[in-house]
Amino acid sequence: MRIAVIDDEELIRLGLAKIIGRIDPSYQVVGIWSSGREALGHLEEMEADLIITDIRMPQMDGLEMIAELRRRGSTARIAILSGYNDFGYAREALRHGVEDYLLKPVNQDELIRLLVRVAEKVEEEQSRQPFGLESLIELMLGVDAAHIAKPVWQGACDQLDELPLFRNLYTVMLVHSEPECGEERLRGIVADWKREHRILIREGKLAAVILAIRPGDHADTARELALTMLGKLPIATRVRIGTSGVYAGGAQLAQAYGEASAACQHAWYEPDGHPVMVYSTDFAQLQHEKKSLHRLLLNELGPAIAGGDSDRAEAALQRWLGEAQLLRLGWSALESAAVELVRAVDEGLEDQPEPFRKGSVPKPDQYGDYRTYAAELSRTVMDRLQLVKESRHASRAVERIKMYLHEQYKEELDLQRLAEHVHLTPSYLSKLFKGETGETITDFAISVRIHHAKRLLREEHGLKTYEVGERVGYPDPAYFTKVFKRMTGKTPKEYRDSVR
């Protein structure tokens, strides 16, 4: 609540402002002035909800200021402050509709009661204030009356019912287009129908058209108008339109929008020859169950991925897409099922190094129809399956390199030859090996050589230490000793002596 304080005594006005700020942080003192004349120049722009003013001030007293405010049309609530217990002043103040008459020094409990009472009145008034028409319709579209304050809901309904469009019969069309057809184009098409209407652009390539239904219209009027709209849109635009039943009254707008949305999403699954749907309880009562999709993941796609059978996995994916089309899930439910699908594939990528990263899942409402969406989802999943295949090949490649290094540890390390051995590029093999094992190929090769050197030092007592070095690929004795000590903390001789 916004509060202004006016008093010619500085200690009183500053002290009062300080007390108000301490009572409740929501009480905001927006102005402090020493006279009525000074305050008048600012009060209108401050839009104060409550003005607390002294009654006797120089230049212009409180009663004169109140009279001028009322003459200017101000509806701010006013409380009078006075050091005089004068019934004449009180009676005059009451004539101006003041909230209270407080004597100085102000009793804090009385002040609190005043502020609470005025705050409740301001809140109630704000809840009844009319919305702008566009904001009002946005509020009502898709809103649940149970989640909005009853006074706000009723006020919004009453305001809509004042308009001929909602006072009489209307239907809601929800237009989904890819690419988006744009508000101006829709407005031009609908204007030719010479009907009361409203157009609102929604998220997800959607536009809502609220359209008047005339007394002489027949049951198929909304469908015919939707088909007319289709005929005037570019051929390259993929359009699906859902229309609601016929309603009257602002209170029914949310239900009408819900029906149009259900019809539009149902039409989205249809081929191009059936782009318009009128809401019907037949498809509204479909069992939107995802259990069959989940079973396909568990029983077919999952095992195929686990077994590395890409052909079987692709066949399972196509069955999943076909089942999803039969179920005609709403976009939100379909997206949720698609996330589960991609997650099932990505489980094959767990703990894999770069570049194997999870991909995004396409959003249904960004595609003109189910066919184009299914193609994109299929491509996404097949790309992920390919990554799973590559990740497994990569894991096998690392194992083959490790085995090769154990077998050929005496040979000089040649990264190019190693990469050719597993049909990968040297740089990719290095990155892959480090990602999967946590160490470089060079470090791994050194650890293998030292492992074999330790074995020879333990078992072949007739070999000189430099001969052990030669056998594991280190012809330079000094370098062999340096590497061995770095890896074990001991020289080859010290190690041999310690294990005898």
Domains of the chain: 2-128 (3.40.50.2300), 133-283 (3.30.70.270), 291-388 (no CATH), 396-499 (1.10.10.60)
* Over residues 119-132, mean pLDDT: 69
357 band by pLDDT with thresholds 50, 70 and 90: very low
169 band by pLDDT with thresholds 50, 70 and 90: very high
* Over residues 215-237, mean pLDDT: 89
- Are 16 and 107 in contact by the 8 Å Cβ rule? The answer is no
DSSP category for residue 289: -
353 band by pLDDT with thresholds 50, 70 and 90: very low
467 band by pLDDT with thresholds 50, 70 and 90: very high
HEC per residue, the chain: CEEEEECCCHHHHHHHHHHHHHHCCCCEEEEEECCHHHHHHHHHHHCCCEEEEECCCCCCCHHHHHHHHHHCCCCCEEEEEECCCCHHHHHHHHHCCCCEEEECCCCHHHHHHHHHHHHHHHHHHHHHCCCCHHHHHHHHCCCCHHHCCHHHHHHHHHHHHCCHHHHCEEEEEEEEEECCCCHHHHHHHHHCCCCCEEEEEECCCEEEEEEECCCCCCCCHHHHHHHHHHHHCCCCCEEEEEECCCEECHHHHHHHHHHHHHHHHHHHCCCCCCCEEECCHHHHCCCCCCHHHHHHHHHHHHHHHHCCCHHHHHHHHHHHHHHHHHHCCCHHHHHHHHHHHHHHHHHHHCCCCCCCCCCCCCCHHHCCCHHHHHHHHHHHHHHHHHHHHHHHHHHHHHHHHHHHHHHCCCCCCCHHHHHHHCCCCHHHHHHHHHHHHCCCHHHHHHHHHHHHHHHHHHHCCCCCHHHHHHHCCCCCHHHHHHHHHHHHCCCHHHHHHHHC
Encode pLDDT of 296-325 as tens digits: 888 888 787 777 677 888 888 899 999 999
User: Could you tell me the sign of the dihedral formed by the alpha carbons of 329, 333, 337, 342, in that order?
Assistant: positive
pLDDT surpassing 80 at residue 483: yes
pLDDT surpassing 50 at residue 356: no
- Predicted TM-score (pTM) of the model is 0.55
Q: Please give the mean pLDDT across all residues of the chain.
A: 83
Q: How far is CA 45 from the centre of its chain?
A: 37
% of the chain beyond a pLDDT of 70:
87
pLDDT surpassing 70 at residue 445: yes
Q: What is the pLDDT of residue 170?
A: 94
% of the chain beyond a pLDDT of 90:
27
